[in-house]
Amino acid sequence: MRPLFTTQARREAPLCSARLAASALILVGFFGPWVAHNTAALTVTGYELSEFAKFFPQVQGGVVPVRRGLFVTPLFAAAISAVLVIHRSRGHPLLRLGGTVLAALLGLSVLPPYQSILDPAYRSQLILVAVGLLLTLLTPLAGRFSERTRGALFLLVALLGAIPTLWQYVLLRPLVAGLYEARILPGWGLIVCVIGFLLLSLTSLRDILTS
């Protein structure tokens, strides 16, 4: 078996890569519309879904098991994967530090509202934000991982970022269709986000299989 840490892992990689492009797609998709509607006020972005879901009585009563906090996982998947790429690049140390700080600030953007931060309804989201921020700040420690280990880490980030939020979207979508009394099509933000996750997963699998 290849070791977890190898000299090969210490080689620098170019900053421009498929993984960084995948991270950008996930981030753009997260802030783009997931619930598409001709009326702008009824269009909901991935960023807004966790707040939007709380207004449904079925969610409030637990009839539909939507965990609103899981809608923020794409943001942290994009942040963590981007920081991993930046710290593997030939960029200046200040660029790496700046990238890490920027990713952490992005994570703070999905903190629950200040007046509700201790509300039990936001507890899962608060925990996810705290864990996501911690992992984002710890990603520079992965700089000496082997290519295979790195690929497995990227794949894990992609799966943990995509599966929970897509599962929640599938649960919420019928409620939105019932509210709007119309067929709900996936917005371009959701499509772009999925493309980003697929790209990140495929590049990760390539490294796992070829290293």
pTM of the predicted model as reported, rounded to 2 decimal places: 0.84
Q: Percent of the chain scored above 70 by pLDDT?
A: 90
Cα–Cα distance for residue pair 153/112, rounded to 1 Å: 28
- pLDDT of 1 higher than 60: no
pLDDT at 89: 67
Which tokens sit at 82?
Answer: 């981007």
Give the tens place of pLDDT for each residue, 55-65. Answer: 999 998 889 99
Arithmetic mean of pLDDT, 115-129 = 80
The set of long-range contacts for 179-186, using a CB threshold of 8 Å and a minimum separation of 24, is: 179/56, 180/37, 180/42, 182/37, 184/35, 184/36, 184/37, 185/36, 186/34, 186/36
Is residue 110 a contact partner of residue 70, using CB atoms and an 8 Å limit?
Answer: no
8 pLDDT tier (thresholds 50, 70, 90): very low
Which tokens sit at 165?
Answer: 């939020």
Burial classification of residue 11, based on how many CB atoms lie within 10 Å of its CB (0-12 exposed, 13-18 middle, 19 or more buried): exposed
What residue segments make up the domains of the chain, in order of their start? 22-210
Q: Which candidate, 27, 78, 25, 34, places its Cα nearest to that of 52? A: 34
